[in-house]
Amino acid sequence: MLVKWIRCTVVDRRGFERGQRKWAGLLGEPGFRGQGGGWSRGRPDVAHLFGFWESRAFYDSFMARSHDRLAAAQSGTYKNIQVRLFEHRFDVKVGFRPQFTDADVVRIAHCRVRPEREEHFTLMQEKVWNPAMAGSPGMLRGVFGQAPGPEFLVLSMWNSVAEHGKYRAERVERLALRAQTEADVAAITGDVVEMEPSWTV
């Protein structure tokens, strides 16, 4: 599975939201698995979108054929767009499916990992972070993806801001020490995204 993460700064909120509804046209696309998104809790003008495709081949075919027609509706409503593609490595918790209707917030962590620490970072995600997140009340499901670079995306869905906040406050620092995250990661950026139900496809 291919995971697409889009982040952009919105300059015309109403126009952007109106254009966002046009992405319902993705539904007939071969290989399309789901899309959702919302607004950054920390920066109200930043929108995040997450798309899921069965494979890179299906995604490339969509980009070559239908993408520009769907994207035209949002032209001029945003700036500073960043698009990243990640190959699914494993689920965070089990049985990931790209559904957003039950998620209140999505937490993203984008990590650039030191090349020699890539294997250790992946192992710690599997053995330390995943079980801790999976055991947290309110954590629904998630995905761990990798891009060349070595670049990783950890995307987790939560049923409430409060539950995610509790997990952060009670566990993150301790887990980071145990996983030696500082030694593995050269740079990390993240955000908490409040989901917009009308953007879900």
What pLDDT, in 10s, does the model give residues 62-110? 999 999 999 999 999 999 999 999 999 999 998 899 999 999 999 999 9
Q: Quick one: pLDDT band at residue 113, thresholds 50, 70, 90?
A: very high
pLDDT for 168 equals 87
pTM, two decimals, is: 0.95
pLDDT for 169 equals 86
Q: Quick one: pLDDT band at residue 32, thresholds 50, 70, 90?
A: very high
Do residues 109 and 188 lie in contact, with contact meaning Cβ atoms separated by under 8 Å? yes
Q: Quick one: pLDDT band at residue 170, thresholds 50, 70, 90?
A: confident
For residues 135 and 10, what is the distance between their CA atoms, to the nearest angstrom? 35
In the structure encoding, which two tokens stand for residue 159, read together?
A: 């049923």
Q: What is the mean pLDDT of residues 156-183?
A: 92
The C-alpha angle 113, 115, 119, rounded to 5 degrees, equals 80
Do residues 195 and 37 lie in contact, with contact meaning Cβ atoms separated by under 8 Å? yes
For residue 61, pLDDT beyond 90: yes
Residue closest to 153 by CA, chosen among 55, 84, 101: 84
Q: What is the mean pLDDT of residues 26-36?
A: 96
The fraction of the chain above a pLDDT of 90, given in percent, is 94
Domains of the chain: 2-199 (3.30.70.100)
For residues 91 and 68, what is the distance between their CA atoms, to the nearest angstrom? 31
